[in-house]
Every structure is written in structure tokens, then in C-alpha cells.
Chains A and B, each alone.
Chain A
Amino acid sequence: MSDTSESTDDAEAAPDGGDDAASAVDAEEVRHVAELARVRLDDDEVAAFADQFGDILDYFEALDEVPETDREEELVNVMRPDEVEKGLSQEEALSNAEETEDGFFVGPKVS
């Protein structure tokens, strides 16, 4: 099925649209995805990834040939009684944090 029917107005997320046959990826797209994923990249990484992503996404294009399949999953919910059980102590839960204060994690400033 077509891939862009619901997102043609979302120019920011898919700057090239999604409907081009080739999947060339430019540096700006790599930077955009890296920002979404919260991974900072240096310029060399951006250039290398842009090259590699083009090849890899071209290869993924073959998924277009896959027929739509009935997906009958035999899935059932797994439930248990909501009872208090022993878990990690506060000290254990905080033991790997870079910075803590009064029993709390300390994170970077929000803005």
C-alpha cells in the first residue's frame, strides 16, 4: 500500500516525502533523525551514516514485494494478582546513578 497517504502534511518529519523509489538519505535527514533519537553526531558521522543509510534503505526496499499477510497471533494477556512483593531497596535502585540527593535521582536541568 502507499506509504504517505496519511502524512503528506507532515513535511518536517519526512522532508523528502516517502514516495520516492530511491531511498537516498541526505545529511539533513540524518541530523533530523539523530535529534529525534537524542544522539548527538559529529559531522564525519553524519556523512558516513548518510552514505550507509542510502545503501541499507535501498536493500529494505525489497519489503515492498511482501504480500499483505493475515496476522493471526495467538496472544493472550498474562495477568497476576496485584500484590505487594519484595523489590529492590531504594539504596539498590539508586546504586548505579551518577548523582543522587535525599533518595532521588538527580538529572540535568530541564531547560
Chain B
Amino acid sequence: MAADYNAFITEATIEGDADADGPLADKTVAVKDNISTEGIRTTCGSEMLADYVPPYSATVVDRLTAAGATVVGKTNMDEFGMGTTTETSAFGPTKNPADPERVPGGSSGGSAAAVAAGDADVALGSDTGGSVRCPAAFCGVVGIKPTYGLVSRYGLVAYANSLEQIGPIAGTVEEAAAALDAIAGDDPNDGTTRDLSEVEGADPDASYAAAADGDVDGLTVGVPTELFEGADERVVETVEAAIADLEDRGAETTEISLPSVEHAVQAYYVIAMAEASSNLARFDGVRYGNRAESDGNWNESFAETREEGFGAEVKRRILLGTYALSAGYHDKYYKKAQDARAWVREDFEEAFADVDVIASPTMPVLPFELGESLDDPLRMYLADANTTPVNLANLPAISVPAGEADSLPVGLQLVGPKFDEETVIRAASAVEDAS
């Protein structure tokens, strides 16, 4: 398998239901290593959980195997999902199958690389600020970030609960959509999932795979200037050519403005770090996870366990999150970030009064070279400029290959209104047909 790319942390099998028929029967699926698999270690790319073996499986894993898919392994990732390159993993970086000198993107880099290398038909990632779409774009495959509440997070090791969704990665839009059909739907074990029959405007009988019909005749595509400004010219040209293909197929494009997105990266990082600082407090070395040899008292042992178990990026985010929530700084950072989040949501709502989908580059840059951004966290954060607004606004989005620039994959991002996965899937399938 993809030993060359280091896409997997653990190779292990969970057999799919042999009697199932449907699009996932006999397919193979790779699962990001922050999604629990009963009896198979789930490390989150961290030394802290290097030996952690969950006693239960995530809802999404049960749903995929019930649909006939066989799990083939657990994929490499930035530690606890904190990164844009898969280089913060305690298990070494994953290489990009499109160019092994470059990163596969992150944090679900192992999942995208496994699909790109042909080691799995489909993969699951999790997307907190772009972690499915970024690696899909960098590896030249398709990745879907569902509307918040469409897919159960039960069994996903939490990083920033209010932002993250599990989403599928596959070689084609239709395959990714078929995987979404299997994993979507409310779950009594996750109170934030929605029953689509109770959501206004949503279609509870939607078939996402059937929506991949390439029919964009009459579709209105909004093109926000803010998400093209500052992007690499080669990326912009490739994405504009893909949007022109949509016009050739009958779509109408219109320039729009989303002024709030200029603050999305700051708002995203403040909220994600704040939630992370609280979520990761559970890793105390007592109930699960590695514990440091320590003669100290509870607090000292706790601090030593976390010194040993967490890598630099995880410590950085826990500390900054603690800082942003601490007395004297809460209003300055956290409250303002929540204001920005509401503003971003409003901006998108207003835009969707006039357009059906919003198109932009998924990533403003081409894949980094391995090691290039690791010592400069802020530079890494800025690469998330186009993906983070979608998580802040709880919306569905897809990254679909738009073409190549300098022989490197470029992803086009399509964002839709809440619970309108079908429209983004339909538009993405047209981009795919054209290229």
C-alpha cells in the first residue's frame, strides 16, 4: 500500500456487510485517525493517543460498513486536526501523490493521499476550517464539507465542536456524494444532527449521488472578489477557466461581495483555539492516553503528561485558546470573534438571496513544499482564508479539481445554502465533466 506516501497510521480491516448492495458495496474506505474504530487504535496523529483503542465505533463508520464498504485503514493527519499540511502528525508527514516533494494539505492529508494514490475508493476526513477541502484540492481529488448538523460527529474526537463536520473524499463527485448518502442523517447520539424532514426547504429523500448530473443550465454562480484577491495568479487563472466552463454549460455568473470574510481567519482561529483549549483538557493521562512518569501531584503530573504527549502546534493552540478566554481578553478576542462569525453568516445569507452557489479557489496557494511552512504558524493559518468562512457560516461546500497549474492540482470550491448539498454537488459534477 501507500507506504511511500505515509498515508496510513494503521492498516487494519473492518469488513463491510457482504449482503449490502448499492454504490458502496465492495468499495474500500480509509478513515481519518480521529474517527473512532472499535478495536482499532485511533491516535489523532498524536503521541498522546498512540496506544488508544476505542471500545466503540463512530456512527459514520457503522453506516459505511452497513452500506457494504470495507475499512482498510486509519489515515495520517495533523495532530488533533491542527494543521494545513499533515506535517504536525506525530507519525511523520504524508507526501502528496501528485508531487511527493510537496505536502498533501491537511489536516485530512492521509485520507486525500490514500484516495489519490488508489489505496482506497473513498475516505473520510473531518473539516473544522477546511481540513477536507484543502487536502482534496492539493491532491487533485473531491472533498465535501457537509452542512453543520447533516452528519453525526458521534465518535469523532473533538477539536472545535461548533465548527467541525465529517465529510467524504473520493476520486469523483458522484463517489463522494454516494458516501455522503450513506453517512448523512440524524443520530440520537449527536444532539446537533438535524432530522431533514423537520428542516425547512431540505429534502429528506435527497439522493446526493443522483444530484451529480452535470446539469447547471440556469444556475446562478456568485463570484466573490474577496476570495480571489491575494490568491496565487496561477490558481486564479485555473479557477477562472473552470468557472468559464460552467458558463459554457449554461450557468450564469455574477460578481458578489462578502466583506466579512476578511475577518474569517482571525475569527476562526480564536474560536477554534478557544474550543480546543477546553476540549483537550480531557487528556489528563488518567482515563485514557499516555501518562508521564511523574512523582508530582495531580497538577504537576497533568502538566508533564501534556508536555510529553502534545506536539508544538497543539500546545500553541491550547495556550492561545486559554489566553483568548482568560480574564481581560475574553471580550477583546472571543466575543469579537463571535461577532465576526455572525457577520460572516449574514453575508452569506444575503448573497444566497441572489445566487445559487458561490465559487472561489479552495486554497489561495499551490501545495507547499514539505517543511516550507512548518516554522511559520501564521503563514499556515493564512492559507485557510477561503475555507474557514464556510465553517463559521455552517454551510455545505465541495472542492473539485479545476485543473492544474505548473503540474500541480488546483481545487475549485463551491459553497451552497444550508442543507442544499445537492446544488453544490450538481455544480461540481459539471466542473468535473468539463475538465
Contacts and interface: CB of A to CB of B under 8 A. Distances in A.
A62 B378 CA distance: 14
B303 A38 contact: yes
B296 A108 contact: yes
Interface stretch (B121-129, B168-176, B305-313): B305-313
Nearest to A109: B297
Contacts of A35: 303
Given A62-B263, A96-B53, A108-B302, A18 B339 contact: no
Interface size class on chain B is 35 or more
B56 A88 contact: yes
A106 to B, nearest CB: 8
Interface size class on chain A is 35 or more
B298 A108 contact: yes
A76 to B, nearest CB: 10
B247 to A, nearest CB: 34
Interface of A: 1-4, 6-7, 10, 13-14, 17-18, 29-30, 33-42, 45, 48-49, 52-53, 55-57, 59-60, 62-71, 78, 80, 88, 92-93, 95-99, 105-111
Interface of B: 51-53, 55-56, 188, 191-192, 260, 262-263, 266-267, 269-270, 277, 281, 284-291, 294, 296-304, 306-307, 310, 312, 315-316, 318-320, 322-324, 326-329, 331-333, 336-340, 342-343, 346, 377-378, 381
25 contacts: A6-B331, A14-B326, A18-B329, A30-B319, A38-B281, A49-B316, A53-B320, A57-B320, A60-B266, A60-B333, A62-B262, A62-B263, A63-B333, A69-B340, A71-B339, A78-B192, A92-B56, A93-B55, A95-B55, A96-B52, A96-B289, A97-B287, A105-B286, A107-B284, A108-B298
